[in-house]
Structure formats: C-alpha cells, structure tokens
C-alpha cells in the first residue's frame, strides 16, 4: 500500500522522474524535450529546494517515489527567488535550438526566463500555489485528495489565505478532480486554466 510522507533530500531524483512521466497532460513526456530534466527544474524540484516543508511524497511499497505535491506559500516571493537564484544556476544546462521556429524545449526555456512576480489579483487573493503529480499506479487510492488535504492543513497553520494552481486547459479530468475538492474556476488565459480555494485559518 502506497504511503504519504514528508519530502527527504534523497527524493530529488524521484521528483524528476515523476515530473517527466506525467508532464504530457498526465502522460509520459519522456523524449518530448531534448533534456527530460527540464520538466523537473521548472515544475517540481525548485519548490522542494525552496520550501521542503511544503513537499510531500507518495512512496510505493518498494520505496519508489510515485507521486508528490510541491508548493509555495508566497507565489511572488517564490517567483523572485526562481528568477534570481534558481534559474541562473539551472538554465546553463540546457541548449537552445536557435531555430526560427522554436522547439518545445525553446518554449519551456522561455517560460523559465520569464518567471517573475505577477502582483496579480489572483496571487493577492490566493498567494500559495502547487504542483501535484501522480503516476498511473497510484490511481483509485484517494492519494491525490490526501496530498491536497495535507498541504491545505499546513498552509492553514501558516495563516495562508488561499491557494491557486494552473493547469493545461485540455486536462478535463484534473479540472473535475479539483472541483470535487472545492476549488473554484478562476479567470484564465488562452490554453490554461486556473483554480483557487480559500483556506480557513487553523
């Protein structure tokens, strides 16, 4: 039976692995980019580095990382740290194509380049945000709900007023999952969907 536990520093490779294997709207994205580790350097590992106490792991019976939730309790502060400290130390690993038509890797590198505090109404109202990924073998066990509940409890203890997340607009199953947990659909840009949930004080 899989179990949820706090993040440990030796889980980093597991974060990279789960991130790439779920990056294509929940499916395996191995080989979509020139370097598979870029997924984790954008969407998983920096959160565990910046605030490991907001990261929980789903561990299989045989000790593998098969899911996680990572988060920040201050989206704009995280974005500033990502821009100033994390990204400069990581981006040098990755090659840009230089092609007139950007490759998928080029587009994700540009995403990293543009990370900055938003100062938006959504961030003011829902200052925390998360990324959650689970391998298919975890499905049907209630682990996603338990991960979110664990995170919300800690954010409530910290006095954080709200949590938001962004997702691919094509991922209808994920949207239905968040709505069952009480997340509300927020205004969203083209190709993306944002949800938010208010957090009662602990």
pLDDT digits (tens, 9 = 90+) for 45-70: 999 999 999 999 999 999 999 999 99
Higher pLDDT among residues 124 and 192, named by residue: 124
Instruction: Determine contact, residues 30/20, Cβ cutoff 8 Å.
Output: yes
- Extract the tokens encoding 161: 């007023």
User: Could you tell me how many residues make up the chain?
Assistant: 202
What is the average pLDDT across 166-170? 82
pTM: 0.94
CATH assignment at residue 66? 3.40.630.30
pLDDT reading at 90 higher than 70: yes
CA dihedral 186, 192, 197, 202 (to 10 degrees): -140
Total domains in the fold of the chain = 1
pLDDT reading at 167 higher than 70: yes
CA geometry: angle at 11 spanning 26 and 109, to 5°? 55
pLDDT reading at 189 higher than 70: no
pLDDT band for position 25 (cuts 50, 70, 90): confident
Higher pLDDT among residues 46 and 168, named by residue: 46
Please tell me the distance from the alpha carbon of residue 95 to that of residue 138, in angstroms, as a whole number. 34
Residue range(s) defining the domain that contains residue 142: 3-198
What is the average pLDDT across 78-89? 98
Tell me if residue 134 falls in helix, strand or coil. strand
What is the average pLDDT across 81-100? 97
pLDDT reading at 100 higher than 70: yes
Higher pLDDT among residues 151 and 190, named by residue: 151
The pLDDT tens digits for 11-24 are: 999 999 999 999 99
Radius of gyration, CA atoms only, the chain? 16
175 backbone dihedrals φ, ψ, rounded to 5° = -60, -45
Q: The dihedral of CA 193, 162, 153, 70: what is its sign?
A: positive
């Amino acid at each position: 039976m899989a179990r949820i536990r706090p993040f440990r520093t030796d889980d980093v490779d597991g974060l990279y692995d789960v991130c790439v294997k779920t990056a294509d709207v929940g499916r395996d994205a191995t080989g979509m980019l020139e370097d598979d580790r870029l997924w984790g350097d954008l969407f998983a590992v920096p959160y565990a580095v910046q605030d490991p106490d907001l990261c929980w792991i789903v561990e299989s019976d045989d000790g593998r990382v098969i899911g996680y939730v990572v988060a920040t309790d201050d989206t704009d502060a995280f974005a500033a740290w990502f821009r100033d400290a994390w990204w400069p130390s990581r981006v040098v690993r990755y090659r840009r194509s230089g092609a007139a038509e950007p490759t998928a890797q080029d587009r994700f590198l540009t995403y990293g380049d543009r990370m900055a505090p938003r100062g938006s109404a959504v961030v003011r109202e829902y200052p925390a945000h998360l990324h959650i990924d689970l391998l298919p073998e975890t499905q049907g066990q209630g682990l996603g709900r338990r991960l979110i509940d664990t995170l919300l409890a800690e954010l409530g203890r910290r006095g954080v007023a709200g949590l938001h997340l962004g997702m691919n607009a094509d991922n209808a199953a994920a949207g239905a999952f968040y709505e069952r947990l009480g997340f509300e659909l927020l205004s969203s840009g083209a190709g993306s969907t944002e949800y938010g949930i208010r957090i009662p004080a602990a």
